[in-house]
């Protein structure tokens, strides 16, 4: 006669704790600036580290399941047919300079090589990579992206540089605009470039005419930013202290809707809705739920062995340039450790009175 009340009671407790999401509060510290838990999120699974020396850039050819890693002035290749078991390939590309960023587009790979500018390689035949062009870009090539027939390069003190790459063998410097601060990252959304300008925050550039880019809006932030992603009505910026969510529906008057504090300085980010994946330097990968842009929350994390510099996320797997190596990390179920510990314990206790009937 006491079976049902006990089971019901356990179910009520389980439901109540799930609603409060104790594990969530523990893992993200309620966004308390003084509280961070260093344990890894249990559902992020195992990682595979390939010790290849300094590694600060990464790109993915998803069609051929190849990951490219910038290691010093080398670009190394990994077969990721089995994403969590990367296999080094024998090919090595010797870039024009230190590789800070990579972008893979079909059978061409672009490298941002600091003072050496833009380096372009034909990778149609992986066994015989072939340089197509290399050229001087004013400033320091920190990061790049390719959209349509143009490469957009965040070039430090030289702002945003735009290169026509419709013929990769003959790239043409088409346009540029000097941004306040130091241009360290760039993202493209439609006819606009969103530039992370380090200590000058977010800069929004109209690129409808690539030979005549012009500024349309900006949003300054109190701390330096290193990375930007733009999609829909929001731009996301990772930098010192955390993740900024900025409403850019009105490009002329963007405004911040929320800020999520993280342990270190976000160096790169990728957004696969509803999550933002941040390479948080000494704090590894932080996975932030952005389903509610005005109230982001941490969904999971993994403290990588090295320094998380850059990452890309594809089909539940994060490929991370981790400073002293390359990591392939399963992020398909970013749940927090405490929630997953509490749940099975309570579930077992809820059924304990029933089990006693048979044993």
Q: What is the pLDDT of residues 66-105, one digit of tens each?
A: 999 999 999 999 999 998 888 999 999 999 999 999 999 9
Q: What is the mean pLDDT of residues 118-135?
A: 96
Q: Given CA atoms 177, 181, 183, 186 in this order, what sign does their dihedral have?
A: negative
Closest CA to 296 of 342, 339, 246: 246
Distance of alpha carbon 186 from alpha carbon 228, whole angstroms: 6
183-217 burial string, b = 16+ CB within 10 Å, else e? bbbbbbbeebbbbbbbbbbbbbbbbeebeebebeb
How far is it, in rounded angstroms, from Cα 20 to Cα 18? 5
Q: What is the pLDDT of residue 168?
A: 96
Q: What is the pLDDT of residues 201-222, one digit of tens each?
A: 999 999 999 999 999 999 999 9
Distance (Å, whole) CA 337 – CA 65 = 31
Which letter does DSSP use for residue 71 in this model? E
* pLDDT for the residue 335: 63
Mean of the per-residue pLDDT values for the chain? 83
Cα(217)–Cα(51) distance, integer angstroms: 42
- Average pLDDT of the segment spanning 14-18: 41
Q: Which residue has the tokens 């702002």?
A: 159
With CA atoms as reference, report the closest residue to 284 among 21, 47, 32: 47
Is the bond preceding 274 in cis, omega lying within 30 degrees of 0?
Answer: yes
Note the pLDDT tens digit of each residue in 237-295. Answer: 999 999 999 999 999 999 999 999 999 999 999 999 999 999 999 999 999 999 999 99
Q: What is the DSSP code string of 278-339?
A: EE-BTT-EEEEE-SSTTS-EEEEEE--SS-B-EEEEETTEEEEE-BSSEEEEE-SS---HHH
Residues in Cβ contact with 190 at an 8 Å cutoff, skipping those fewer than 6 apart: none
Between CA 237 and CA 268 the distance in angstroms is 9
Question: CB neighbours of 62 closer than 8 A, spacing ≥ 6?
Answer: 314, 315
All CATH 2.130.10.10 domain ranges of the chain, comma separated, are 55-284
pLDDT digits (tens, 9 = 90+) for 160-177: 999 999 999 999 999 999
Q: CA-to-CA distance for 285 and 296, rounded, in angstroms?
A: 16
Q: What is the pLDDT of residue 136?
A: 80
pLDDT at 51: 58
Q: What angle do CA 136, 279, 333 make, to 5 degrees?
A: 135
**55-284 is classed CATH 3.20.20.10:** no
What is the rounded average pLDDT of the residues 132-146? 94
**Section 30-55 average pLDDT:** 49
pTM over 0.95? The answer is no
Token pair in block for residue 170: 């003959």
| Confidence label for 181 from pLDDT (cuts 50, 70 and 90) | very high
- Residue 45 has what DSSP assignment? -
Contact 200, 180 (CB under 8 A): yes
CB atoms within 10 A of CB 32: 10
3-state secondary structure 147-194: ECCEEEEECECCCEEEEECCCCCCCEEEEEECCCCCECEEEEECCEEE
């Amino acid at each position: 006669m006491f079976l049902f009340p006990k089971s019901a009671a356990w179910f009520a407790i389980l439901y109540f704790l799930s609603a409060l999401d104790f594990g969530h509060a523990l893992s993200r510290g309620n966004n308390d600036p003084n509280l961070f838990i260093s344990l890894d999120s249990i559902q992020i699974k195992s990682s595979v580290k390939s010790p290849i020396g300094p590694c600060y850039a990464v790109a993915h050819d998803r069609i051929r399941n190849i990951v490219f890693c910038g290691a010093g002035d080398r670009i190394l290749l990994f077969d990721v047919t089995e994403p969590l078991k990367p296999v080094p390939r024998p090919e090595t590309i010797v870039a024009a300079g230190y590789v800070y960023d990579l972008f893979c587009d079909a059978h061409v790979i672009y490298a941002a090589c600091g003072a050496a500018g833009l380096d372009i390689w034909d990778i149609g035949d992986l066994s015989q990579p072939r340089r197509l062009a290399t050229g001087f870009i004013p400033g320091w090539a920190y990061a790049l992206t390719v959209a349509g027939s143009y490469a957009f390069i965040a070039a430090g003190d030289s702002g945003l540089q735009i290169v026509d790459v419709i013929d990769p063998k003959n790239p043409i410097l088409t346009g540029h605009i000097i941004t306040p601060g130091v241009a360290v990252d760039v993202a493209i959304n439609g006819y606009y470039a969103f530039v992370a300008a380090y200590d000058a925050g977010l800069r929004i550039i109209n690129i409808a005419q690539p030979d005549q880019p012009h500024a349309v809006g900006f949003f300054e932030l109190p701390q330096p930013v290193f990375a930007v992603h733009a999609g829909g009505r929001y731009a996301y910026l990772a930098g010192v202290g955390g993740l900024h969510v900025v409403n850019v529906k009105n490009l002329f008057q963007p405004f911040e809707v929320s800020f999520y504090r993280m342990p270190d300085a976000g160096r790169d980010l990728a957004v696969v809705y509803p999550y933002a994946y941040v390479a948080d330097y000494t704090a590894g990968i932080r996975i932030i739920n952005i389903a509610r842009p005005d109230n982001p929350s941490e969904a999971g994390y993994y403290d990588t062995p090295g320094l998380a510099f850059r990452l890309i996320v594809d089909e539940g797997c994060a490929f991370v340039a981790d400073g002293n190596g390359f990591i392939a990390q399963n992020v398909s179920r970013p749940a927090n450790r405490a929630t997953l510990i509490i749940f099975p314990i309570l579930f077992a206790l809820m059924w304990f009175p029933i089990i006693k009937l048979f044993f």
